[in-house]
Structure 1
C-alpha cells in the first residue's frame, strides 16, 4: 500500500495525471523529503516494473499512474518505508492490494494459504485467485501467477 501512496503523492500534490520525471523526483525528494533524488528514481523503476507507472511522451520522460491516484489518501504523517524501493513478489503485491482494500493482512494470508492447500496452487496463483474472488483487480499479476502454474502443473488454470 505504501508504494501506491508514495507514487500517487506527487500527482495529487500537482493536481495532474502526468508529470515529467524531474517533477516527480523533486516532489518526492525536495518537497516531501521522503527520498534522495537517486532513491526517487529507484522508486520510479520499481513502480514501473510493478505496473503502477507508465512512461509516455516522445522521450519517455512523462510519468502517468496506471491507477486512479485521486482515490488515494496520503495521510498527513505518512512517510514511506525504505523497503518499497525493493522489488516485491507477485504474492506481496496481491497482499498489498488486499490490504489497501481494507482487508486485515493476517486474514488475507490465512485465506490465501488455505486456498493454496485446497487447490494445490502456488502461493502466487492462490493469491490472484483469492483477490479475484474478493472482487479486487490484480489482472496485471495474473501472467506471473499463470507462469508459476506452468512450472508446477501445466494443466491447471488460475
Structure 2
C-alpha cells in the first residue's frame, strides 16, 4: 500500500467507519493525529477523491475504496509530503487508460482503436457515449475493464 493510501484509509480504520464527513476527516488529520494543517488536509481529501481513493456520496459523506477498507495502518505511521505529489498517470482519464490497455493487449494503435470506437458508435446511431463504446471495444479484445468500471459508469450517467 502506498503512503497516500495508508494516510487516506487511516481515519476510516481508526474510527471503524465506512463513511465519514469531510469535517471528520479534517479533524482526524489536523487535531487528532496532528499530521498536517487544515489546508493540507483539504488538499489530501481533494487528491484522494481525484485519484479514486475515496468517493463523495450523494449525502456528502466520503466512502473509502473497497480494497482499502481492510488495510492495516502501521504503528507510528506518519505521512510525509510525498502524499501530495500527484503522478500524471494517477489523474489520467479512465477512458484514456482503458484505451491504452486495449491498445497494449490487441497490438493495435490508439488511432485505429479510436476509429473503431467511432464505428461502434455509428452502428448505434451515435446513441451511445464514448465510455460505452470503449467498454464494448474492451470486451471485443478480451481486456478487463473492472478497475475502470465504476468511473466509466459514473461518467455514462452524467
CA distance in 2, matches of 1:88, 1:30: 28
Q: Structure 2: state its 5+ residue gaps.
A: 104-108, 114-140, 144-158
Within 5 Å, give how 1:104-143 maps onto structure 2: 142-143=94-95
CA distance in 1, matches of 2:51, 2:74: 23
Q: Once superposed, what is the RMSD of the aligned Cα atoms?
A: 2.4
Per-residue deviation, 1:51: 0.6
Provide Cα deviations, 1:68-89, integer angstroms capped at 9, x if missing partner. Answer: 3332111112111212113222
Within 5 Å, give how 1:9-24 maps onto structure 2: 9-24=10-25
How many aligned residue pairs are there?
106
Within 5 Å, give how 1:1-158 maps onto structure 2: 1-58=2-59, 60=60, 62-90=61-89, 93=90, 142-146=94-98, 153-155=110-112
Aligned to 1:111: none
CA distance in 1, matches of 2:32, 2:46: 20
Q: Structure 1: state its 5+ residue gaps.
A: 94-123, 125-140
Find runs of 4+ consecutive structure 1 residues off by over 6 angstroms.
none
Rg larger in structure: 2
Classify the secondary structure of the residue corresponding to 1:71: coil
After alignment, is 63-72 or 4-13 more displaced?
63-72
TM-score (norm 2): 0.58
CA distance in 2, matches of 1:49, 1:27: 20
